[in-house]
Structure formats: structure tokens, C-alpha cells
Amino acid sequence: MKALLVCEQREGKLLDTSYELVAFAERLGAEVSLVLVGKQAQAPQVAGKLYLADVDKYGEYSPELHKHIVLAAALKENPDYIIFPHSSYGWDLAPRVAATLRVGQVSEIVNIVDGQLEVSLCNGKLRRTVSPKGARAVLTVQAGAFNYAGQKSGAPQVEEIEISQGSSALQFVGYEPAEKKEVDLGRAEIIVSAGRGVGKKENVGVIADLAKAFGGELGASRPVVDAGWVGHSHQVGTTGQTVSPKLYVACGISGAIQHLAGMKKSDFIVAINKDKDAPISEAADVMVVADVLQLAPVLAEKLRAA
């Protein structure tokens, strides 16, 4: 089985998701080749052939040109799978490649079960195995689902790749950096996060108070940030911050896969939720089945008294 891995770089830096693709391909038992729109200095340090297209020539974000580069590499390698990270880059590009090749796509793979591709459904409440029907397929792999345990010291055999398509109707203007941070969750030892289950903005204070009693920082899941209850710098997850504190307390968070990907490397995870079977329970070391708005003040009081 052969896999072509579509690596991702941004502003001169190879993203770690590229290595996660290598880990996923290893689990599949596939022979690997890679493709990157970037520079040789950003090449993933793994063995295999790397098709490299010059980012200065083809652009940081130019889906039409990047699509043709991936297709050109696929034409040379004839892979069974063309694999992308399930990221803003991958989910934008993968369907373009799949549609052009008229092959099936399986998105956001979280596991391989008995050789089958497993994906998540309904915010992680269900799982299913999906099989592509043709000989070839496009896949995207969930961030954080496959960890690369190998040494980052191999050297790929680089082959430069060029395409004849020269321009793109879509014009990349530039990046906008993340907003200035009110809080740096990446350095926090204890994070107490509020989820949609806290109900309304006024209740976030109860969770903030618990965070204070623990001597930690306040985190939040995406819906809480989108609703404007707290600022974006508190957001934990793939579109917020990826964190790994010594203690993570998830309050009223059901555990959408994007949130889990951002916090599951925490040393110890406590989830407080009324629903014992919420997907967060999978990641939790301790699952407290309770109304967090009732439990949090009791817990904060005991912490202060201790």
C-alpha cells in the first residue's frame, strides 16, 4: 500500500501535523512519499521521497495551484491514499483533490480499528468506520489523534516539482496574527475551563472563581468564546490554544473532538458534567457527575479552607 502525505507549512515553519501523517501512515503500514509547498529547510525529517514545490513560486495559500501540485505528485507516485491533515489547509484542499480525481474522501479520521478507518459523529457521541469504494481515496487525519513517536532525524530524498498552471483566481492577501493574549494558557499549571453547560455569561464567574481557588487560569470551549462570554485567548482547542497543564478541569464541556485535541495531553483531567456519557468522559481521569454550577462553589469553598 502506498500513501502520499500532504505536509503543511506556514510562514516558513513546518507544522507538526505533517509528522502526525507519518504516524498515521505507519499505523496503516503504508509505504510513504511526501509532498510540500515550501522550502527544503522545512522538509520533514523522515525517510521517503519528498516532492517539493517552491512556496515563493506557488504561494502560501493558493488552493488551485496547491491542488495541481498534489495531483502532479500523485501522478508520479500512483498512491492508494492521498492523506491530508484535517486542518484549515487540509479540509480546504482535500475535497478539491478528491473531486478532481473523482474518488471518495474520508474526513477527520480519529483511529484505525481492525484495519478500518474510524471517524467521529455527532460531537464524538458516536463513532463509525468508513470505507472508500474505489481503489484510491483521499483521507484527512484529525489533529492529535496519531502521535509520531519516531526520531525526527531522517532525511527525505527531495525531488523538485513544477506545474504549468501559473495563476490563481483566489488572491492571498496575508495572515492576521492571533489577538493579543489576556492570558497565556500554554504556561498554566492548572486550567479550569467553562463550556456551554454553564448556561449563560453570568455563570462564567462561578467557574472563574473555582479557577482562582485552584490557583489556576480560566479556560473555555469554543461555544463560550463565540457567544462572547470570555475572550478568545481563553479558548482551548484546535482553533484556540493547545494546552498541557498538570491539572485540567472541564466544567460543563461535552468534549467536542476539537476541544479534546487541544487538552488531552494534560497530566490529569477532571470533567464535571451532568451527562455521565458525554464524550469528555473518554479523556477524563475523574468524571464527576454533577451540575457544575452547584458543585463549583462547594469545591471552591473547600479549596479555600484547605
Partner 1 sequence: MNILVCIKQVPDMESRFKVNGTGDWYDEADLAYRMNEYDEYAVEQAVQLKEQLGNQPEITVLSIGADRVGEALKKALAMGCDKAVQVQDNDSARKDPWQIANIIAAFASDKNFDVIFTGMQSQDRGSAQVGVTVAEILGHNCASTLVGFEYADGVVTAKRELEGGVKSVVKVPVPALVTCQLGLNVPRYPTLPNIMKAKKKELQLVPVSSLLKEEAATGTAKLYPPVKSGGGIVLEGDLGDVADRLLGILKEKTTVMK
Give the one residue of 45, 80, 104, 158 binding partner 1; rule: CB under 8 A. Answer: 104
Q: Cβ-count burial of 153 within 10 angstroms (0-12 exposed, 13-18 middle, 19+ buried)?
A: exposed
What number of other Cβ atoms are within 10 A of residue 6's Cβ? 28
Nearest residue to 222 via CA among 262, 189, 268: 262
Instruction: Pick the binder of partner 1 from 9, 105, 193, 203 (CB under 8 A).
Output: 105
Residue 86: all three cell numbers together: 484535517
Least distance CB 84 / partner 1 (angstroms): 11
Is the CB of 158 or the CB of 288 nearer to partner 1? Answer: 288
The CA distance from 48 to 118, in Å, is 26
**Closer residue to partner 1 (CB): 44 or 237:** 237
**Residue 105, amino acid:** Q
Alpha-carbon gap, residue 25 to 170, rounded angstroms: 32
Pick between residue 48 and residue 252 the one whose CB is nearest to partner 1: 252
Q: Is 176 in the site for partner 1 (CB under 8 A)?
A: yes
Phi-psi region of 125 (alpha: psi -120 to 50; beta: other; left: phi over 0): alpha
Q: Based on the shown chain and the rule CB under 8 A, indicate whether residue 71 belongs to the binding site for partner 1.
A: no
Judged by DSSP in three states, 279 sits in: coil
By CB under 8 A, residue 86 contacts partner 1: yes
241 touching partner 1, by CB under 8 A: yes
Is the CB of 31 or the CB of 92 nearer to partner 1? Answer: 92
- Whose Cβ is closer to partner 1: residue 23's or residue 91's? 91
Grid cell locating 183: 492570558
Residues 189 to 208 in contact with partner 1, rule: CB under 8 A? 189-190
The yes or no reply on residue 288 touching partner 1 (CB under 8 A) is yes
